[in-house]
Amino acid sequence: MSASTSFRIASLDRRLDAVAAALPTLLARHPYEEDFWPAFADEVDPIHALAWCASDTRYVDARIESMLGEHGVLRDYAQGLELLETLHD
């Protein structure tokens, strides 16, 4: 792994760690899916924007799936985004 890749992943990890730490509060504030997913997207979309390549995106998605699973969110991130899109239509 190159130094720039290590730096990118470390930067993504710091941001993802912050979201993971805030997730219990986010879930408590938004107990309904239709409220949770937009709030969650507000937190993770900026992180996705920092993913420079497909492997970064896969890494971010895997971390997101893991943190959601750890907190018992049964719907996966992609399904949550689909729900969010249908709510906006």
Q: DSSP states of 23-44 as a string?
A: HHHHHHH--SHHHHHHHHHHHH
Q: Could you tell me the pLDDT band of residue 34, with boundaries at 50, 70 and 90?
A: confident
Burial of 9 (0-12, 13-18, 19+ CB in 10 A): middle
pLDDT(71) > 80:
yes
Q: What is the pLDDT of residue 13?
A: 95
Q: What is the pLDDT of residue 80?
A: 65
Q: Whole-model pTM?
A: 0.78
- Structural domain range at position 79: 3-88
- How far apart, in whole angstroms, are the C-alpha atoms of residue 5 and residue 12? 11
Question: How many domains in the chain?
Answer: 1
pLDDT(75) > 80:
no
CA torsion through residues 68, 70, 73, 76, sign: positive
